[in-house]
Structure 1
Amino acid sequence: MNLYSFARAQQGMVLVICLIMLLLLTLSGLAAMRGSTLQEKMAGNSRDSEQAFLAAEAALRNGELFMTTAAAVASGAFDTTGTSGLYDVAESGVTTDWQSATANWRDSTALSEVAATPKYLVEKLPEVTNKGLSLEADQPLETMFIYRITASAVGKTTTSRAVLQSTFRR
């Protein structure tokens, strides 16, 4: 066998090996693109849930600000049906089911970065006696009112939802 016939017999194998290498590189590129797309979706979902959390926190602060006003504790503002998002749990003895579709919410300040206006509701809890003060015989014990504020908000899409609660003493 001479050198010319050996080189001629090997010409087809180079093409097959190159095609296999090209196929492997293509598969590697597709896997990298799929991973990149997944990471992009995860980053978007993380941002969406963060937006929902920030909007719920803003609604919670609006609820606390509302509780500092005189209108919040006006006579008849709280009732057992939760008209305008103000529930009197002390009178009814039943806590509010904030997951229920029939719950009454108060709208918070509208935000441009979320899909819906954040909301909050306020529950007036039973009166509490402050036992940390002096127990002198001629002094009555001080009582205080505790309120539970629940805020709910969605992110840029309605698929992410954040619910926060705080207690407020007045």
Structure 2
Amino acid sequence: MDKSLISFRQTGMVLMVSLIFLVLLTLLAVSAMHGTILQERMAGNTRDRMLAFQAAEMALRAGDALLGNPGLPPNGPGIYMGLNSSPAATYTSVQQWDTAYPWATSAATISGSLQYVAQQPRYVIERLSTTASCGPLPKQKNLVHTGEGYYRITSRGVGGSTNAAVILQEIYVRCS
């Protein structure tokens, strides 16, 4: 047998196998890179959500502190002491609830500045009733006893981007 004829036929096969192997390695690398990018996005979104939650919690505590004072402030930005005087209280139909709440003009901001957030947290305090039943309260973590009347504190926090927003609510009970 002629050895030159056998080696001539096999040279193209090695090239074909190596190209297929290279394509498979490229697909594997692209798939791994896609998974890593997805995990980075999820971690960033989780961080944004946690920042927004912490900002909303900070605004909720600012509203608690304001209601914890002996003298209540009058109506003002974010404070609606008259029954049904808040912009949210005028929402009586489904269409009105679909519209955005005017946080920029109707809510109070916290004192101080919070870093790493796109917007400073805001809160709204609404009086829900002028009298409060001062008997035993249900065992819930978000009810606080001190003063007269029921108040709803709604807070909004934004994370590192405006796409991550968290809204928290708390019912505050003041009993004399």
TM over 0.5: yes
Gap change, CA 1:70 and 1:128, over 3 Å in 2: closer
| Residue 108 (structure 2) pairs with residue 106 (structure 1) | yes
Q: CA deviation at 1:95?
A: 1.9
Q: CA deviation at 1:129?
A: 4.8
| Residue 87 (structure 2) pairs with residue 84 (structure 1) | no
Q: Deviations over 1:112-169 (max 9, x none)?
A: 0211111111001112352739xxxxxxxxx931111111010001111000010111
Aligned equivalents of 1:16, 1:42: Cα separation in 2? 40
Gap change, CA 1:129 and 1:149, over 3 Å in 2: closer
Gap change, CA 1:114 and 1:129, over 3 Å in 2: closer
1:120 aligns to what?
Answer: 123
Q: Deviations over 1:58-91 (max 9, x none)?
A: 11001101111234x25xx03xxxx321113525
2:155 aligns to what?
Answer: 151
| Residue 44 (structure 2) pairs with residue 24 (structure 1) | no
1:34 aligns to what?
Answer: 34
1:7 aligns to what?
Answer: 7
Gap change, CA 1:11 and 1:124, over 3 Å in 2: same
Gap change, CA 1:31 and 1:8, over 3 Å in 2: same
Q: TM-score, structure 1 length as denominator? A: 0.79
Letter in 1 for 2:59: A
Identity %: 37
Aligned equivalents of 1:132, 1:124: Cα separation in 2? 19
Letter in 1 for 2:166: A
Q: Deviations over 1:14-57 (max 9, x none)?
A: 01110110111011101110111111111101110111001100
Q: Tell whether the 8 Å contact from 2:84 to 2:90 is kept in structure 1 after alignment.
A: no
Letter in 2 for 1:167: I
Q: Which moved more, 1:53-62 or 1:91-100?
A: 91-100
Across the two proteins, how many residue pairs are aligned to each other? 154
1:140 aligns to what?
Answer: none
Q: Tell whether the 8 Å contact from 1:120 to 1:149 is kept in structure 2 after alignment.
A: yes
Letter in 1 for 2:109: D
* Unmatched segments (≥5 aa) in structure 1: 134-142
* Unmatched segments (≥5 aa) in structure 2: 92-96, 137-146
Q: CA deviation at 1:92?
A: 4.5
SS state of the match for residue 84, structure 1? coil
1:67 aligns to what?
Answer: 67
Gap change, CA 1:112 and 1:96, over 3 Å in 2: farther
